[in-house]
Amino acid sequence: MTDVPAPRHIPDRLDKPLSSAIFSWEALLVVVAAAIFAINSFASPYFLDPYSLSDLTFNFTEKGLIAFAMALLIISGEIDLSVAAIIALASTMMGMAVQAGAGTPVLVLIGIVVGLGCGTFNGLLVTRLGLPSIVVTIGTMSLFRGIAFIILGDQAYKGYPESFAFFGQGYVWWVVSFELVLFLIAAVVYWFVLHRTSFGRRVFAIGNNPVAAQFSGVRVGRTKFILFCLTGLMSGIAAVLITSRLGSTRPSIAQGYELEVITMVVLGGVSILGGAGSILGVVLAAFIMGLVTFGLGLLNVPGIVMSIFIGLLLIIVIALPIVWRRLRGGR
Amino acid sequence: MKAFLKYREIWLLAAIVVLIGLISTRFPAFADPGNLRQVFNDTSILMILALGQMVVILTRSIDLSMASNLCFTGMVVAMLNAAHPAIPIPLLIVIALVVGLVLGAINGLLVWRLNIPSIVVTLGTLTIYRGATFVLSGGAWVNADKMSPDFIGFQRAAFLGIPVLSWIAILVIALFFVLMTRTALGRSIYAIGVNPTASVYAGIDVGRTKFIVFCISGMIGGLSGYLWISRYVIASVEVANGYELNIIAACVIGGISIAGGIGSVGGTVLGALFLGIISNALPVINISPFWQMAISGSAIILAVVLNARSERQQGRIILKKVEAA
């Protein structure tokens, strides 16, 4: 023991100076969120009310849950466009179960299992057959929602049991909804997994350089497969929440959510090219999107116009640091 | 390489012939030349859009905003026509091309000048352009009774027994064929997709070329805006909602590699026709149209599995050649 030289201390990550924390992406998001919050509370007298603020959270909790898993997936260099279609299929299956007389626990189980199953299917296609995930999930997006359309057509499933309503409509304490609690728990879990475990480091490694990761002993295929399963699982959970909140299922449920989830992830500072991102950023982005849509909703701005703001926000927040760097670089 | 490409298109063509054969066992009149002309006409807009998307995907980019561009430009020309029925249709088409070009150039500039990944840019403009349609129209619709007879009738007029819409599609296909096989720009587009770094060393301005392909897809989106509105005679915010994915699906089925550099005009046209035949056939063979989505989804997955196989084979062939040299 004594003749072995003391190992040189190699830090996991370099110490960051304070200035980099101040100019970090998350700091920018905090400023944006605070600004939107302030504008909202000036613009509408109804905004700063605990019940209003509680309603606000419903705008992002379901999409946010998926966004966490999607963040990991995008960091690893893949993408899943089928998440909204998974919601549609899982919700349809839950509707079928209700017609067969299933109770609340069975419904929840079905939603989660269908979600997980769809995610597994995506994962197998991408990792086993080595297909590009963007195309595979465009295909499964049509397939999953298509099955929902085949089963339901222009009909709707209703008649969910009363106890089922808790997941999407219930409150744990005062104005704190079950959805919000679930969102916060998921945020902590995903933060821990991504930033504090070796699994999280592997995800970053794969996103930065899949070949190097493979040669470093990272099971690239298996890690990506797990991430696809995880994204399916979160979509299944989101399906339970949405179905419970709406109390009915149509095949067009959650239409367009996939793009909103991806917008949330990218707005949160996750590089669409993979290899970089943080859960804190995604949480902040979820809040920002919730604030924007809710604030504009209080001002009676129609949903389609809100989407302009979300789109502009996405491009501006991405473009701003690039322009800023150019100006400082004097080019 | 060229023989290989032909090989794949022949397979796609064979798949289409088999598909038509299968359909005509249930409904013999489907294979009728008159009906096939009708199917071609019905698929014209999708073919045109898919070609615009093709040049973008070939350069390793993607344009998710095409359907929103179509929606916005369609609303612009519909409102212009409703307000000033005297504007001749060719001028309206030019206006549609210019409006589409501007929207495409916005995408292109963001990709070129700020180096933002195209999927992020067009994800943003997808919602912005559709939202802008709402702002422009105030949420109102432009119905058939507000459109002039010329506006609706132009693409339906028959020339040599074929509707003008089909002729426009044929013209666009021919233009893209010349662009991709007979011009330096076409070669640059392929080169960027195959190897962007090598393209820079070969003297190709990658950023500028990407800007140009987004301008092309924008113009195509604008042109399709007029064609779509005058075909379905209603302009609203909901026009072609979600259609961007059908366009990409047509490209993928047509053998365009999402990783860039691989694909052809013929393949794209056949990919669009494949989807067009399915959507035309379902009602006549008494399958609920609700099946269409799942069928095209399965077709996309099947196509990408087959594409991946042939791409892998191609890689091996290249290696062998290098080793032999």
CATH code of residue B234: 1.10.3470
What separation in angstroms does the CA of B152 have from each of A43, B147, B233, B261? 45, 7, 7, 38
How many Å lie between the alpha carbon of A303 and the closest alpha carbon of chain B? 9
Name the pTM for this structure. 0.84
Taking 60 as the threshold, does the pLDDT of residue B315 lie above it? no
A320 near B CB under 8 A: no
Question: Which sequence spans correspond to the domains of chain A?
Answer: 55-320
- Residue B3 pLDDT level (bands cut at 50, 70, 90): low
Query: Considering CB atoms only, which of B64, B245, B258 is closest to A132?
Result: B258
**B120 and A136: CB-CB below 8 Å?**
no
B90-118: average pLDDT: 91
The predicted pLDDT at position B2 comes to 54
Distance CA B100, CA B48 (A): 14
Taken in order A211, A214, A220, A223, the sign of the CA dihedral is: negative
Lowest mean pLDDT among A23-37, A80-94, B230-244, B299-313: B299-313
Nearest CB among B120, B127, B295 relative to A318 is that of B120
> Residue B64 phi/psi, 5° resolution?
-85, -5
Q: Which residues between 133 and 192 in chain B have a beta carbon less than 8 angstroms from any beta carbon of chain A?
A: 134-135, 139
Residue of B nearest to A266 (CA): B120
B21 in Cβ contact with B31 (< 8 Å)? yes
Q: Are B245 and A135 within 8 A, CB to CB?
A: no
Q: Which A-chain residues 144-163 have CB contacts (< 8 A) with chain B?
A: 144-147, 149-150, 152-153
One-letter amino acid at B48 equals: I
Tally of domains within chain B: 1
Cα separation, B112 vs B211, whole angstroms: 6
If you average pLDDT over residues B96-117, what whole number do you get?
A: 91
Express as a percent the part of chain B with pLDDT over 90: 32
Q: How far is B31 from chain A (nearest CA, A)?
A: 27
Cβ-contact A137, B297 below 8 angstroms: no
Q: Which residues of B282-300 are buried (b: 16+ CB within 10 A; e: fewer)?
A: beeeeeeebbbbbbbbebb
For A246-277, give the DSSP string.
HS-B-TTTTTTHHHHHHHHHHHTT--TTSS--
Residue ranges in chain A whose pLDDT is less than 70: 1-23, 330-331
More confident residue, B310 or B221: B221
Residue A1 confidence (pLDDT): 47
pLDDT tens-digit profile of A216-232? 999 999 999 999 999 99
* CB-based contact, B114 to chain A, within 8 Å: yes
Return the closest-CA partner of residue A240 out of A167, A169, A186.
A167
pLDDT of amino acid A86: 96
Candidate from A251, A305, A318 with C-beta closest to B116: A318
Where in chain B does DSSP place strands (E)? 158-159, 162-163
Q: Which A residues 60-119 touch B at CB under 8 Å? A: 81
Q: Contact at 8 Å (CB) between B65 and A308?
A: no
Token readout for B94 is: 């030019």
Say what the pLDDT of residue A238 is.
Answer: 95
Flag if B128 and A272 touch (Cβ within 8 Å): no
Mutant choice from B300, B306, B311, B313 vs A, greatest count of A C-beta within 10 A: B300
- pLDDT at residue B235 is higher than 90: no
Let me know: does B13 contact B234? Beta carbons within 8 Å.
Answer: no
Q: Give B159 to chain A, closest Cα distance, Å.
A: 37
From chain A, pick out residues whose CB is under 8 angstroms from the CB of B258. 132, 134-135
- Complex ipTM, two decimals? 0.80
Q: What is the pLDDT of residues B130-180, one digit of tens each?
A: 889 988 888 788 888 888 887 787 778 788 878 889 899 999 999 999 999
CA distance, residue B73 to nearest chain A CA (Å) = 16
Report the top-level CATH class of A55-320.
Answer: mainly alpha
Strands A176-177 and A171-173: antiparallel
A77 close to A274: Cβ distance less than 8 angstroms: yes
Interface check for B78 against chain A (CB to CB < 8 A): the answer is: no
A279-298 and A61-75 helices, crossing angle to 10°? 150
Range of the domain at B247: 2-324
Cα separation of B288 and A178, whole Å? 39
